[in-house]
Structures are given as structure tokens and as C-alpha cells.
Amino acid sequence: MRFSNDFLDEIRDRVPISAVVGRRVSWDRKKTNVSRGDYWACCPFHGEKSPSFHCEDRKGRYHCFGCGVSGDHFRFLTDLEGLSFPEAVQQIADMAGIAMPKADAQAERREKERTTLQDVMEMATQYFQDQLQTATGARARAYLRERGLSGRTIETFRLGYAPESRNALKEYLAAKGVPKEQIEACGLVRHGPDIPVSYDYFRDRIMFPILSSRDKVIAFGGRAMAPDAMAKYMNSPETELFHKGNVLFNFSRARRALQGPSGAETIIAVEGYMDVIALHQAGIENAVAPLGTALTENQLDLMWKLTPVPVLCFDGDSAGQRAAFRGVDLALPHLKPGRSVRFAMLPDGKDPDDLVKQDGRAPFDKVLAEARPLAEMLWLREAGAGQYDTPEKRAELEARMKQVVQVIADENVRRHYQQDVRDRLNAFFQPSQAGRGERRGGFEPGNRGGGRGGAAGQGRFGGRAPGPSAGGGGAISDRLARSGLVKGHQDQPALRESVLALTIVNHPQLLQDEYDEIASIDYENRDLQKLWSSLLTIAAGMGAQLTRETLIARLEEQGHGGLIKSLDQQIRNARLWTATEIAAPEDAGEGYRQALSLHKRTKALRRQRIELEREVAEATEAEDGDHIGQLIGALHEVQLEITRMENQEAIIDGFGVMSGRVKGAATGHNS
């Protein structure tokens, strides 16, 4: 029996390959990282004592570095258990809870027709590519050069040109023996009862081939060269091959970027073809785009199949913000534990192409680093533009927030969102400790919502906010300090930095598994910077021979003994036992990863705070009262998030105690 590619893809997507392989092997606890879907075991195909058999859920593949075997779900069962291919498909379909397709002569005929149509689309793609290189395509080549695309990029994406002719493509394909019915079925011509003679669908347009998940051309996007064209961008019509809402431009390349050595960790959804192509040329190969319409549920589900938290990237203008808020509504009902989205907002008036054209990928990487979680975007939408100067309006906001999160289908995620809403509302409406009727959260003059929702320069309660002319730069500084938005640096390392450093000192074996990521940590505390430099130098010289005792002895010789004792005392005072020497390796690793995630997010927020403080200073000099109110509001929100993150440092607390793998932590090491 012949199985369609769609059916095989569906059961592969529903059943992680680790579930298939895991029934025949025992995973190695030390090398396996379950949260990343990364598994190691002794190879079931040849005898070995140390695990060299690697299985990745994200790729849906296995490979043994000892004997060289590799394959997917079906290959594993056919090679190891001797099943036939249909038997392997049956077994995995049962695991997926999907009924096997019945033998259907009509379905098999349609599958064969689809293959034929793909051959026609390939011929059309080659035709458009050839036309781009002729004299007819000179204007299109000039446009692509003006957009900064290299010849290599044009070739990679197989860009082409459709001549300004009603019959050029149709006649070319007919001369190759392609029947009229197949040309029409591919959507390459306009035809119908009211069209006496069919004519080419795309004319005088730069052509962007749209590929299936299996790298087959299934449709085209066309960019008009004529400035007065009715549609600047136009896609192929819906066909047997192409259903626009189920396809993402550049999906197959982005998937390979996640699976390859590029280091890509997530999928980035941008607005259009040229954005994707410009990012690819700048070295960012994991971007996709919807096809000229708003993102659909099916497209979002495609991204979730590749990564748990895709990033949705939007323009920073009002249209981009509206699109981001639509993305919030799209994702909310489908959230699950470990599955969400983040939102990266571009600078106003800029698109990804603009950012990478002059300075390479660095500006875009900065935008991605500052991507906001869905919960924050939801809060900005609901609370950002209102004026809450009465109890009734505050109650309305609370009711609205509670109603919005009710659409989340997963009970656990919904409960945590409800808690997040309560925390944000409490912070938003909490009276300030500074005194005299001032309020934190949303009620401070010039807060983001007040700047948009009320009169320029007015606070939430209608009182006049001190403008730039009232107090100059000093007044702004006073307001920032009074709001708690500007924080000084402390001599003692931040707790999360102490956890990161001391965990490695006490458990240097972690360096063996994730050296590159660990070595790249950027500490804020100068003493820790010096300690880290010495530690990495020692580790590089000793390699796998490094032990905790040797490392500490060498660090003490270099004058870091006092700092290590200070870090140890700080950690014990906070009862973060996963960073101490008594923690089991599994617990130390888990606590370390939590601290590192917190560290990265906090660093990104602080960079955002510095940028906002700079903008506040510039707005002060320009005496831009409206803008300064919005900036201070944004700054306040960032600081609230920083405070929340700092409070979350306690999430590592007690991990080892609860797991039961730390002996004596509860009784023998109290400070």
C-alpha cells in the first residue's frame, strides 16, 4: 500500500522519535537532556559500553557515532525489528492514535497527479529563473541589486522574473508537452467560463518560489515591477498543491537551520518575502513569513512543531502593534506547558531589511534579545491605553483581564496566567511607599497608558504632570529616582551571578557538556569577571582531568580564595543548595540552567532600560512632553519586569532538597 507524504508526516509529528526508540533502549541519565529532546544511549545495533547512539526529537532522527547507523521512526523499526515498512507505519500510527488510511484508488491517483503537477511547477520555476537573466529581466535584476541581494542569495531562493506577456509561460509549457489542464491546475494561468482564452497569471513580476515542507515548488509569490499595479504582491491561487493558510515561506530552510550547526534556537516569523531573504543573507536562516495575510492557526502550529516558543516579529508602528495583538489572540487558546510565543517589536519605521542592510545582523539580534513574552503583550494591550482614575475603571480592567485568559484551554497554563494577572494588577494599583498620594504601576504621571489615553502631560488621576520645562533635566532625574526606575550598582554580585559561578566551581564537570554556552557568560561584577577568566584558563589547560579540588586549589593560588568563600556564604544564606558541593550533578545542572535563563532575560531587560533612559534624556532636551510621558511609562514597565525577575531568583531555592538527592541540606548547613 502506498502512503501519502502528508499521512507519514502527521504520524511522525505526533510521536516523538524518542518514544519509538525509548522502548528498545535505556537512556543515559548523564548525557540525556529531556527538556531539549536530546537523548543518548548505548547503540542497540552494535555492542558498546559507553553511549554513542544519539536521538533528537526536534530532528526526528537518530544516529550512532560508533557504527554509523541513522534513520527516522520507520527506519528504526524496519532495521532493528525486521518489520516491513507498512508494519512499521501501522505501529507508529497506533502510537499516534491515528487510523490507518484505507486503500483508495482515487486517493492514489490524486497523489500521482500531485507529483505530476510538482514537475510542472519545477519547469515554471526554471523558466522564471532563466527569464531573470535575459535582457527582458534587466529591470528586475536592477531592483534586486538595489535591495542589496547578492547573486548567491538570488540563486539560493531561485528568484525569477515573469515577462510582461499574456502568453509567454503558457506557450513555453505547451511547447514542452504540458497539457492545458495541468497548466490550469497549477494556477499558472487565469481561466474559466468567462475567460475565452486563458492567459498567464503572473506578468511583469519578480517571482518568489514557495516551497512545501519537502522542498517542492508548490506556488509563487510575485512582486509587481509597475508602480501602478493593482496589487504590489500577489500569490498563486489555491490549488491541489497550495493552500495558503497552511504554508509558511522559507519553512523548510528554517527547519534545517534549527537542525543544523548554525545555532538557531527558534523560528522567527516576519512580515514578507524580502524580510526573510534579507535576514538569510545576513546569516539569520531561521526566519519564515506568512503569505501576505495575517498569521493563521495552522501556520502557528507549523512553527510549534519545530520549536516550543517561536518569535513573532512586527513593525514598531501602530499597524505592527495591532498585528502583534492579533497574534496574542491567535496564540492564547492553544498555549500548553512549555508552548508559547514571544513578540519582538522593531524600531518604528524599520523593517528587518533596513536593520541588517547597514550593520549586519547585530541590530536585529538585539531586537530578538528584547522580545517580550505573551503575558507581557497581553498586559500592554489591556492596560496600556486606559486611564484608571476611578475604582469602577480599575474593576473593569480586572474583569477584562480575567475574561481574556479564560480562553486558554489548558487548565494548568490558565491557572498560572490568572496568577500572573493578579500579580500585575496588585503591582499596578499598589500605593507607593514614597507618600502623599502618589501611586506606582499605572498611576504615575506620564505612564505609557496615560500618555496615550489622556491629555498630554496629565497623570492618571487628571493632575498636571511636571513637564520638562518645569524642572529641566533635574526634574526628570528626580521623577525617575522617585519611581524606583534608576538603580545603582552593588558591590556584592547579584545572586544569580553567584549561583552561576559557584555552581561551576563546585561542579566543573558541567563544563564538559556545555562549555561554549558556559564560557560565553558575561558577568557584571568585576571580581567575578576576573574569577571567570582564571577558571576558564585552568579548565582549558586541564580538560577532562579537571576536578573540584584541583580547580579550587588553583583558583586560591591566583588570589580568588576570599571571593569563593564569600560566594559560598552568600549562597548558603539564600539556601540555594544546588550551587554547593553537596548537590547531586543532576540537581546542580538543573539549578544552573534555571539561573542562566534568569540571567539572560535580566541582562536583556537592563539593556532595554539603559536605552529607554537615554531616550528620556533626549526627549528632555527636546522638551517633548508627550513623548517623555510615554517613555517613562515604558521605563516603569521594564523596571517592574526587572524587579519581578529579581524576585524570581528564589525559584532555584530548595530544588535539591525537594528532589531528595541532597543529603544534609535541610539540617546540616543552615547559616
Q: Which region, left, alpha or beta, applies to residue 349 given φ > 0 means left and ψ of -120 to 50 means alpha?
A: left
User: What is the C-alpha separation between 528 and 522, in angstroms, rounded?
Assistant: 10
Query: 318-331 vs 374-383: helix axis angle to the nearest 10?
Result: 120
Report which of residues 321 and 125 the model is more confident about: 125
Instruction: Count Cα neighbours of 546 within 13 Å in the Cβ-side half-sphere.
Output: 23
* Rounded alpha-carbon distances, angstroms, from residue 26 to 21, 36, 91, 95, 166: 9, 17, 20, 19, 63
Q: 559: which 3 cell numbers?
A: 588570589
> E strands within 136-177?
160-162
Give pLDDT, residue 255. Answer: 85
- Residue 544 burial (10 A CB sphere; 0-12, 13-18, 19+): exposed
- Residue among 345, 433, 350, 440 at smallest CA distance from 388: 440
Look-up: residue for cell 491541489?
A: 240
CB 188 within 8 A of CB 174: no
Give how far Cα 332 sits from Cα of 92, 255, 304, Å.
30, 24, 13
- Provide the pLDDT for residue 97: 86
Q: Looking at 205-214, 289-298, 322-331, which range is the least confident one?
A: 289-298
Q: Where in the chain is the domain with CATH 3.90.980.10?
A: 113-242
450-463 burial, b at 16+ Cβ within 10 Å, e below that, comes to: bbebbeebbbbbee
Beta bridge partners of 343: 312, 372
Q: Which CATH fold topology does 5-96 show?
A: DNA Primase; Chain A (3.90.580)
pLDDT at site 645: 62
**CA atoms 315, 449, 618, 362: torsion sign:** negative
> 435 falls in which pLDDT band (50, 70, 90)?
very low
- Is the domain defined by 251-379 classed in CATH 3.40.1360.10? yes
Q: What is the pLDDT of residue 593?
A: 82
What is the Cα 467 distance to its own chain's centre?
Answer: 39
- Render pLDDT for 521-541 as a digit per residue (tens, 0 to 9): 878 888 888 898 888 888 877
The predicted-structure confidence for 541-598, as pLDDT tens digits, reads as follows 777 778 899 999 999 998 999 999 999 988 888 778 888 988 888 888 888 888 887 7
| pLDDT-based confidence at residue 447 (cuts at 50, 70, 90) | very low
- Partners of residue 74 on adjacent β-strands: none
Among 326, 288, 282, which Cα is nearest to 306's?
Answer: 288
- Alpha-carbon torsion 448, 452, 454, 458, what sign? positive
The proportion of the chain whose per-residue pLDDT surpasses 90, expressed as a percent, equals 37
SS3 484: coil
List helix spans (H) across 384-525: 391-405, 411-429, 448-453, 468-482, 495-506, 510-513, 515-519
Report the C-alpha gap between 610 and 524 in whole angstroms.
Answer: 14
* Segment 60-70, tens digit of pLDDT: 889 988 888 88
Taken in order 105, 107, 109, 111, the sign of the CA dihedral is negative
- pLDDT of 649 > 60? The answer is no
Q: Please give the grid coordinates belonging to residue 618.
A: 533626549
pLDDT at 111 > cutoff 70: no
DSSP string, 569-601: HHHHHTT-GGGSTTS-HHHHHHHHHHHHHHHHH
The mean of the pLDDT values for the chain is 80
Residues of the chain with CATH 3.40.1360.10: 251-379
DSSP 8-state assignment for residue 192: E
Give 209's pLDDT tier (boundaries 50, 70, 90).
Answer: very high
Q: Residue 287 in contact with residue 257, Cβ under 8 Å?
A: no
Span between the terminal Cα atoms of the chain, in Å: 70
Q: Which of 116-130, 133-147, 203-217, 570-584 has the lowest mean pLDDT?
A: 570-584
> What distance lies between CA 542 and its chain's CA centroid?
36
User: How many Å apart are CA 277 and CA 283, to the nearest integer?
Assistant: 10
Q: What is the CA radius of gyration of the chain?
A: 29
Quick one: CATH architecture of 113-242? Alpha-Beta Complex (3.90)
CB atoms near residue 250 (< 10 Å): 25
- Using DSSP's 3-state secondary structure scheme, residue 79 falls into helix
Q: How far apart are CA 394 and CA 319, in angstroms?
A: 27
pLDDT tier at 667, thresholds 50, 70, 90: very low
DSSP helix/strand/coil, 271: coil
| Residue 56 parent element (H or E) | strand 53-56
Cell for 108?
492514489
What are the CB-based long-range contacts (under 8 Å, 24+) for 170-175? 170/198, 170/199, 170/200, 172/127, 173/120, 173/123, 173/124, 173/127
- In this model, does residue 144 exceed pLDDT 50? yes
Distance CA 393, CA 654 (A): 41
Per-residue pLDDT at 315 = 81
CA 80 to CA 645: how far, in whole Å?
Answer: 48
